């Protein structure tokens, strides 16, 4: 069988992976095999944490809404239920922003149903 050297294709592939590991320490940024493993691990972690960030922000918005609604003497679940009944279509991020930044607006939102 003839020998295949691959030339610049293999070098370019390795360099692409080594560039992704620019900030890693020691062999994890210099040697190809440990670098490849660390880059794969880092990509898995970044994907996982991008998804987790969405869950964390939703939890934060719900806590803020709950705190603001409890001041008015109603529970979070009843508040959300009444919003749906009165067809007020605001997402939790917007409601949390109103609750934190505009207390009068939030009170008028609560009085609207």
Q: Look at residue 85 and tell me if it is in a domain.
A: yes
Total domains present in the chain: 1
With CA atoms as reference, report the closest residue to 40 among 67, 66, 20. 20
> Which 3 state secondary structure label does DSSP give 99?
helix
What pLDDT is stored for residue 3 in this prediction? 87
What pLDDT is stored for residue 49 in this prediction? 98
- DSSP annotation of 31 reads S
pLDDT 10s digits, 3-51: 888 889 999 999 999 999 999 999 999 999 999 999 999 999 999 999 9
CATH at residue 105: 1.10.1900.20
Q: pTM for the whole thing?
A: 0.79
pLDDT 10s digits, 61-89: 999 999 999 999 999 999 999 999 999 99
Q: Look at residue 16 and tell me if it is in a domain.
A: yes
């Amino acid at each position: 069988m003839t020998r295949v050297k691959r030339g610049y294709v293999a070098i370019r592939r390795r360099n692409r992976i080594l560039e992704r590991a620019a900030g890693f320490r020691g062999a994890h940024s210099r040697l190809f095999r440990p670098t490849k493993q660390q880059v794969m691990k880092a990509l898995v972690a970044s994907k996982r944490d991008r998804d987790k960030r969405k869950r964390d922000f939703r939890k934060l918005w719900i806590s803020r809404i709950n705190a603001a609604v409890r001041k008015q003497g109603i529970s979070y679940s009843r508040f959300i239920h009444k919003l749906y009944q009165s067809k007020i279509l605001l997402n939790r991020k917007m409601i949390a922003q109103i609750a934190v930044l505009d207390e009068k607006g939030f009170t008028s939102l609560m009085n609207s149903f």
